[in-house]
Amino acid sequence: MSDLPVFDAAGRRRSAGTLPGYHAGRSPRNKGMRYPADPPSVTEIISVMRYAGDAPSGVRLRAMVMVLWRAGLRVQEAIDLSEHDLDQRRGSIIVRHGKGGRRREVGLDDWAWQQLQPWLAERVRLPAGPLFCVIEGPTRGRPWTTTAVRRDFRRVAALAGVRRRFAPHQLRHAHALELAREGLALNIIQRQLGHANLGTTSIYLQGIDTEEIIAAVHSRRAPVMPASAGLEL
């Protein structure tokens, strides 16, 4: 690329980084970097849901929180859902286009279904289409965007006084940690999250506090063994 300066229509000098194709072939600065999981607490999540309000936009935000937190979906997977992908009778959600194009079916608990109902009732008043859609304006009924989801999450979290990062993927981390704490097998958590291997799933569980690990191991019961083993317990 030429080193000659580039100017916009107003005669202002433009940075080379703003030019089309400048980043082509360049690896992102954060490529290969892994950040520790820091999921929000239940109290923080509920606080955000309360501050979302009861307007249609707030009801939509709470529904998005549900599928990210209680079903562990990626934000793009949630955006891609249609109204017909939810099966309340079965207690499941069909993810048709997961990471790598993989299809999977995930579970959703009864409490989360109850929290979804206000948005489902609101959704039938809008044009048919994606489950999470634009509510007002000329694009009404079209898919809600991931950028808009993240922006609304940050805004409502700030109103709720949540000072840690409150992003869609953090709710997915929270889901994984809660399943682990509830004793679900690692391979079940892997399938729920749609991970190709257990190694990725284990990264999500790094947020378990050291004190939890110590307490869990310390409270283990003594092994059961036959008297013939000759050991005094």
Q: Can you read off the two tokens belonging to residue 196?
A: 């190709």
Active site residues: 74, 99, 169, 172, 195, 204
Cα-based distances in Å from 96 to 73, 92, 142, 200, 228? 12, 13, 18, 21, 56
Residue partners of 166: CB distance under 8 A and separation at least 6:
40, 44, 48, 153, 154, 157
Is the four-CA dihedral 152, 154, 159, 162 of positive or negative sign? Answer: positive
Element (H, E) at 87: strand 86-87
d(CA 47, CA 232): 52
Ramachandran angles phi, psi of 25, nearest 5°: 80, -5
